[in-house]
């Protein structure tokens, strides 16, 4: 899977994608990440990438030209491909969308800054899909792009050492994950639930299922609605 991330801050992308599990997925060839600096494609002599909004108001808007040129520099995409534009006004990204996107050969992400993009970018690049990672506003699209890249990558074969841990994680089966414990069996008087030390695999599975259900009911009742 190839990720092409168009941003004004490629170093933010590179720092994250060179570390930990994602860094290993890059080194082992499960994914490749290309961070493209939109500013490099500005035709303006001062490398300007934004301007004040028509109609007035605060903030700056990213101009069409550098974004369109940066996108065109990618050449033909490896299909099936998707082109995502990060914006708090987009469709909400979730586990189901991560699964859907994990089937692609290439994912392009356009990271917005300031007050976002000139809306005509959606006509210039007609396959753009607007995506949001939740109901709050961030200063830029890099964190959303990295969140999406991370959650998609861990679904790919070979990215996480044990795929069984991915399958057991929250949302995979529509429910939140159960609690985890490790050694020592007692720490500062706090004991691990007996059932986990029982060696009774059926009882452990039953306990975990119940814990998942209880946690989902408490923290995310919306996930249990039909």
Q: Where along the sequence are the contacts to ligand 6GU (CB under 6 A)?
A: 86-88, 90, 112, 131-134, 136-138, 140-141, 144
104 CB-side CA count, 13 A:
22
Say how far residue 163 (Cα) sits from the centre of its chain: 18
Q: Which of 53, 169, 177, 208 is catalytic?
A: 169
CB of 116 to ligand 6GU, least distance (A): 7
Contacts of 220 (CB under 8 A, 6+ apart): 176
CB of 204 to ligand 6GU, least distance (A): 37
Say how far residue 221 (Cα) sits from the centre of its chain: 23
In terms of CB distance, is 131 or 155 closer to ligand 6GU? 131
Residue 10 near residue 35, CB atoms below 8 Å? yes
CB of 84 to ligand 6GU, least distance (A): 9
Q: Which of 14, 34, 68, 115 is catalytic?
A: 115
Give the DSSP letter of residue 165: H
Helix, coil or strand: residue 88 = strand
Going by their DSSP bridges, the two strands 128-132 and 81-92 should be labelled as parallel
Residue 115 annotated among the catalytic residues of the structure: yes
In terms of CB distance, is 10 or 144 closer to ligand 6GU? 144
Residue 177 annotated among the catalytic residues of the structure: no
In terms of CB distance, is 60 or 166 closer to ligand 6GU? 60
- Annotated catalytic residues are 88, 115, 154, 169
């Amino acid at each position: 899977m190839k990720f092409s991330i168009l941003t004004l801050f490629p170093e933010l992308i590179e720092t994250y994608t060179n570390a930990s599990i994602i860094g290993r997925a890059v080194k082992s060839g499960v994914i490749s990440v290309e961070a493209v600096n939109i500013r490099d494609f500005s035709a303006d002599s001062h490398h300007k990438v934004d301007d004040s909004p028509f109609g007035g108001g605060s903030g700056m808007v990213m101009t069409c030209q550098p974004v369109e040129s940066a996108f065109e520099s990618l050449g033909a995409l490896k299909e099936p491909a998707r082109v995502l534009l990060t914006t708090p006004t987009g469709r909400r990204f979730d586990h189901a969308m991560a699964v859907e996107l994990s089937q692609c050969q290439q994912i392009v992400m356009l990271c917005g800054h300031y007050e976002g993009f000139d809306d005509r970018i959606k006509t210039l690049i007609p396959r753009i899909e607007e995506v949001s990672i939740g109901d709050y506003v961030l200063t830029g699209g890099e964190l959303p792009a990295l969140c999406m890249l991370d959650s998609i990558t861990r679904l790919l074969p070979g990215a996480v050492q044990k795929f069984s841990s991915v399958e057991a994680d929250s949302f995979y089966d529509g429910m939140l994950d159960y609690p985890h414990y490790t050694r020592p069996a007692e720490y500062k008087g706090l004991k691990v639930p007996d059932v986990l030390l029982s060696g009774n695999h059926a009882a452990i599975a039953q306990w975990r299922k119940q814990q998942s259900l209880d946690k989902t009911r408490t923290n995310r009742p919306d996930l249990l609605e039909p």
